[in-house]
Structure 1
Amino acid sequence: MNWISNYVRPKINSLFSRREMPENLWVKCDQCGTMLFHRELDASLQVCTNCGHHMPISPRERFAALFDGGVFVEVPVPKPLTDPLGFRDQKKYVDRLREARKSTGEEEAMLVAEGEIARLKVVAAAQDFSFMAGSMGMHVGNAIVAAAERALKLKAPLVVFAAAGGARMQEGILSLMQMPRSTVAVQMLKDAGLPYVVVLTHPTTGGVTASYAMLGDVQIAEPNALICFAGPRVIEQTIRETLPEGFQRAEYLLDHGMLDRVTPRKAMRAELATMLRMLTNQPPPVWGELAAPTEGEAAVEPTAAP
């Protein structure tokens, strides 16, 4: 046995050799360029800790932060026909669906779930922009209807997190039909006197904005979210004028009466808890491990929201 070759040389190589670093440990902020450690970014719910830029977040991550204890149950959504038009552009529609499902791990662009927010039963639906730009096809229409029907059955509020590039062109007129379908589903909630709250995230555009995304009893948006029907570049080319700074962003729409609130993602759970309890004539939320006081018991001052 050669002691130098078998022990000393490998020991020296291990000290000076480069260690391979995983590529997903650091994420660069699109807004300010800061390199963010992935655990720090996960803890901040995909919000840049330097500039406050809100990055995309998946529906499951959003629900885990929204519902009590991160516990929620998926609401089943009827599956529509796959590629009803036999559509093909540069790729077949079925191939695009297959790629989107592989990259996101989700079946479609909207996820519906039920759970509790500050011990109040709530149904929520969230669009996944990473799934074909969150485009509204027949499945998204089915999801909105399924969410509304579940909310009606539970007599619970419905919260929708919108994020979409508009209707899905691969489904043609069938995708546009989801606009009146979703509008009817929202009207069912209003007729039943159940709250319908919409949270508009970046970006919310096209037919989604022209239907269920702007029909909420309360309209909330995340900071700097683009909310529009036609994008600013299209408008500038049409009217041939320079648009105001921040045009069609959440803060601009709030100043012009199109929104009720602009709320950071970290504060969204507390905001929705207070708002939904107010809309359902419930007492204010009690934060912490203690159960909410029952009728007849001594009133307890609620702990401030985290």
Structure 2
Amino acid sequence: MNWISDVVRPKIKTLFKREVPENLWIKCPDTGQMVFHKDVEANLFVIPGSNYHLRMTAANRLKATFDDGAWETIPTPDVPLDPLKFRDEKRYVDRLRDARTKTGMQDAVMVGVGAIEGLETTVAVQDFDFMGGSLGMAAGEAIVTGLETARERGTPFVLFVSSGGARMQEGILSLMQMPRTTVGVQRLREARLPYIVVLTNPTTGGVTASYAMLGDVHIAEPGALIGFAGPRVIEQTIREKLPAGFQRSEYLREHGMVDMVVHRHELRPTIARLCRLLMRAPAPSAAKEPVEAANDDPPVLEAAAE
């Protein structure tokens, strides 16, 4: 046994070993560029060089949307955990437990109320990290709760969508969330309150076939995949090559499926402007002008009287 190589050297290596976090660097899916994680986070999870929009967690999305990153979390009703006792490679309850541990969320949708440039707004966010943002009973209840909260408080409702579709582990109970959320949207519309949808990457399946395409205004982030079935499935079905950029945000805007494609840096002011317009609310700066004018009126009247 060599004491210097077998004992001393490993101890020295352990002494000076540095633990490097796994998420220290992020690789751009578009260009392969390696970017420091803190730089990406400070840039709202947009790769600085390529402008590729990475997915955001629900908490980060709400923080970036509301003034000062502050909001009131709206609790959502409890639902049966595993109504069908579903099991494939592993039990559904185990998948839910893993997703909750990974994301810190109870399910795929988070609802909050706060101010966006001074205007109170109800916002719901689907988190793709929670089982692909799939629509189950809990997610459906959260969206309906968000719609009802907006109706009761008289606020606009903004929904950030990111989902792979209905949650197969809940079967028909998952599919029932499509008409339930549609009824919720209709009730909000009857209250004459705006419903703004922000389509993020990806938005597919039954979610696209229901509440994701029922907004008064549809905004899409650049490069987001939006459609009912994926492009590979469509190509295999029709046996034809699809056009370049098919089912991406820019393609859908050119063909009238979405109203606008907005960079993430411009989303917050765009949403605030649309909400003020649809609610007929004054801009924050305009709200102060009448007060200033009222203070200036008396001297003018006195001068006229003299």
Unaligned runs of 5+ in 2: 1-7, 295-306
Q: Distance in 1 between matches of 2:52 and 2:293?
A: 43
Which of the numbers 281, 291, 297 marks the counterpart of 2:292? 297
**TM-superposed deviation, 1:266:** 1.1
Q: Deviations over 1:57-93 (max 9, x none)?
A: 0011011111000000111100111110001111100
Q: Could you tell me the TM-score, scaled by structure 2's length?
A: 0.89
Please show how residues 64-79 of structure 1 align to structure 2 within 5 Å: 64-79=63-78
**In structure 1, distance between residues paired with 2:219 and 2:277:** 15
Aligned position for 1:140: 139
1:160 maps to which residue?
Answer: 159
State the shift of 1:298 in Å: 3.4
Equivalent residue number for residue 95 of structure 2: 96
CA distance in 1, matches of 2:30, 2:219: 22
Partner of 2:191: 192
Aligned-partner SS, 1:244: coil
Aligned residue identity for 1:146:
T
Q: State the alpha-carbon separation in 2 of the partners of residues 36 and 87 from structure 1.
A: 40
Partner secondary structure for residue 293 of structure 1: helix
Work out the CA distance in 2 between the residues paired with 1:24 and 1:247.
Answer: 32
Counterpart residue type for residue 245 of structure 1: A
What is the aligned-residue RMSD (CA, Å)? 1.8
> Which deviates further from its counterpart, 209-218 or 33-42?
33-42
1:35 corresponds in structure 2 to 34
Find the residue that maps to 2:288 and give its secondary structure: coil
AA in 2 matched with 1:295:
P
**Secondary structure at 2:292 match in 1:** coil
Q: Displacement, 1:119?
A: 0.5
Encode CA deviations 1:20-60: one digit per residue, 9 max, x unaligned. Answer: 32222211111111111111111111100010000010011
Query: What letter matches 1:246 in structure 2?
Result: G
Name the CA distance, whole Å, in 2 between partners of 1:23 and 1:141: 34
Q: 1:175 is matched with which residue?
A: 174
Higher Cα Rg, which structure:
2
Q: Give the deviation of 1:19 after TM superposition.
A: 3.3
**For residues 236 and 147 of structure 1, what CA distance do their matches in structure 2 show?**
37
Higher normalized helix content (fraction of residues): 2
Q: CA-to-partner distance for each residue in 1:93-137, whole Å, 9 max, x for gaps?
A: 000000000111111000000000011000000000010000000
Report the number of matched residues: 284
Contact 1:162–1:213, Cα closer than 8 Å, also in 2: yes
Task: Indicate conservation of the 8 Å contact 1:157/1:276, yes or no.
Answer: yes
Following the alignment from structure 1 to structure 2, what is the Cα–Cα distance between the partners of residues 252 and 102?
Answer: 37
Q: How far apart, CA to CA, are the structure 1 residues paired with 2:57 and 2:107?
A: 12
Letter in 2 for 1:137: G
Aligned-residue sequence identity (percent) comes to: 55
Q: Is the 8 A contact 1:206 1:229 kept in 2?
A: yes
Q: CA 1:118/1:168 → structure 2, altered by over 3 Å: closer, same or farther?
A: same
Structure 1: runs of 5+ lacking an equivalent: 1-8, 300-306
